Every structure is written in structure tokens, then in C-alpha cells.
Amino acid sequence: MKKKWRRILNVVLAVTIWSAVIAYVAYATVLTRRHRAEQTVERVDILVRDSTETGQLVTTQRVREWILRSGIGTIGVPIDEVDVGGIRSLIQKNGFVERVDVSVTYSGIMNIEVSQRRPMMRLMVDGYDAYVTEDGFIFESPDASALYVPVVTGPYRPITPPSYEGRMGDFIAERARESQERIREIGRDKIALYREEDTIRVRRTAERKRSVKKQWREDKEDFRKRVDELRRQKRAKLKYYDGMLRDIQSRIDAVTARQRAEALKQKKLEERYDDFLKLINFVKWLESDSFWSSEVVQIVARTSSSGRLEADLVPRSGNFRIVLGNLDDADRKMDKLMRFYRDGLSRIGWDRYRIINVKYENQVVCTE
């Protein structure tokens, strides 16, 4: 009996404790909601985490101006009514912003923390003025931005439109998906052609099997004439069917050619993307070398007749241009150039040549 009452007492005690906890949580929630409805934003603190050592793309003052121009209320607005998501989206839409955290404290302080992207080069080529990060994210250069990063100029055109903002890898993946869909769409034209081909082959087979039988009391000469006539008809009919089959095959080949042309177009786009990745890696290599990072003033990029990206370098020393060619084995070409700097130009003079070409294997071609 005592055990039974003890169990009942424990249950009552547990129910009482949990009821008190739930009541307290509900009371605290009500108080918090009331406080958030009454408490207004007293201050906006903005922290810009400068992810680049080469300069700032965004400042606290610029973030304040964005919020002010947007019309989104902050100071004096009840905490519950602040459009935190709208402020986050407003700041995040700028391509050079990598991450945004927005929160409002219990005491009414709005904290905005902005992390910037780290550009590693600037594209100032045909119709473009954009920064590119190490992972291939491209975004339009903000007004009045001047980061100390390598600059790529020249008639080269990247694979993305000038207005594109995002990772080039994502752009290529989307183009590949669209290309595959176009190839499948083009391939649907073959279905009707294959059906037509099957029909013609069935008719051709039936025509080949067609024969005549000698009728009762039919003499040999009449039967022979009928056989000859049948053969003539079959030759004409088979020739007609063969012509139709060749025409269908020609149309199938034309569809296949369109598919191959689309696949080739996508392949060339992917090759251009590979070249762009090589450009990024080359710039990274230059920046990692203490000598070349200060020696190379500018990279001039262009697209060759074969569609490959080729580059020239404008050095700080001398009055010449360095022809690098495509960026395959760029580090090897730069090592060869370094040896020429050390063993050649240092002895014959830095103003001797107008062009130094290191694009060819195992040789340096100079033009006065």
C-alpha cells in the first residue's frame, strides 16, 4: 500500500513541477513578446569583416546608405516589426558581399555583420569591368572601387555575359544542361524518321518476297512472261524503296550533324572555361612569387584564331612586351623567362628588345 501511495505522490509531484515549468515558459514568452512589441531599435551597429588585404569593396557608411535609400525602417521601429530578412537580402544582392548576418538584441541593438569576397584579379576587357575571386565567382566592379589586384585587359571576352554575377562553374553547368536538353530535343526528330524507315523496310521485304505461281493449264511462255514482268516491277519498286531509304538516312544524318554541332559548341565553351581557370591559376601563381608579383604590371589577354586564351605580359622592367601564348605550362615558361632575365637581359641590356616571346618550347624568340 505504501508503494502505491509513493508512486501516486511521485506522479503528482512530477505533474506539478512540469506544470510550473510550462507556466513559467508561457509567462516568459508573453513577457518577451510584449517587450519586443514595446522595445524599439535604439542603435544600428555595422561590422564589415574585410576579407581582403588589398582594399575594401564595402564600408559601414555604404551599408547605412543602402538601408536608408531602401526605405526599410530601423531606429525607432519596434523590434517585432523590423524587416530583418529584407535588410539581409538588400545587402546580400551585391555580388561582392559573401555573407550577411542581421540580428536584433533584447535591448534594441541591431547588429549587421558583413563579410566581403576576396577578389584576386580584375577583368577590364571588352565590355567588362569585373572582379574575379579564387573560386571563379565574378561580379561587377562597384563604383569607385580600387583594389590592388592584378588587372587583365585586352580583347579577350569571358564566357559569361558582362552582366553575369555568380560562379562561372555554375554558369557552365547550366549551359551544359541546356545543351543536353537541346540535343535531346533535336534527337526527337529522328523518331518519326526511324518509324518511316521501318515501314519502308517492311514494304521492301514484302516486295522482295512477292512471287507468281504457274496457273493450271498455263503454258511455259506465258508463265515466263509473267515472271519477267514481275522481276521488272520488283526491280523498279526496290529501286524506289532504296531511294527512299537513302533519303531517310540522309535526313537522319542531318539530325545527327545538328546534335554533333551542338555538342561541339558546348565542348568549345567548356574548353574556354578551362582556359579561364588556367588564367585564375596563373594569376595565383604570379601572386605567390615575390618577384613576378611586383614585376608583372599588367596581363593582356586575347582569344586566338583557334579559340584558345593567350596572354601577353607587361613588365615593370624594360620597354618590352612578353608573349606568353596559351597558359599551358605557364610556370615552365616563366622559369624560362627568368633564366633569360638573369643570363641574357642582364648582360645585353633591358632596352635591347621590343618583344620577348617564350611561347615556343625550349627557346626564347626576341624581336628588336
Whether residue 56 sits in one domain with residue 30: no
Whether residue 268 sits in one domain with residue 186: yes
Whether residue 86 sits in one domain with residue 14: no
What is the distance between the alpha carbons of residues 367 and 321, in angstroms, rounded to a whole number? 10
Given 272, 295, 317, the domain boundary residue is 272
Whether residue 258 sits in one domain with residue 202: yes
Whether residue 292 sits in one domain with residue 226: no
* Low-confidence spans in the chain with pLDDT less than 50: 27-28, 30-32, 35-36
Q: For the chain, how long is the longest CA-to-CA vector?
A: 125
What is the distance between the alpha carbons of residues 323 and 334, in angstroms, rounded to a whole number? 11
For residue 98, give the CATH number of its domain: 3.10.20.310
Domain that holds residue 349: 279-367
Q: pLDDT per residue over 134-146, tens digit each?
A: 888 998 887 766 6
Given 254, 272, 290, the domain boundary residue is 272
Q: Are 281 and 287 in contact (CB under 8 A)?
A: no
Q: Please report the pLDDT score of residue 40 as a whole number.
A: 80
Say if 202 falls within a structural domain. yes
Q: Are 131 and 103 in contact (CB under 8 A)?
A: no
pTM for the model stands at: 0.74
Residue 319, SS3 per DSSP: coil
Say if 25 falls within a structural domain. yes
Specify burial of residue 286 (Cβ count, 10 A radius: 0-12, 13-18, 19+). buried
The identity of residue 100, as a single letter, is V
Say if 221 falls within a structural domain. yes
Q: Please report the pLDDT score of residue 145 as a whole number.
A: 65
Given 222, 254, 272, the domain boundary residue is 272
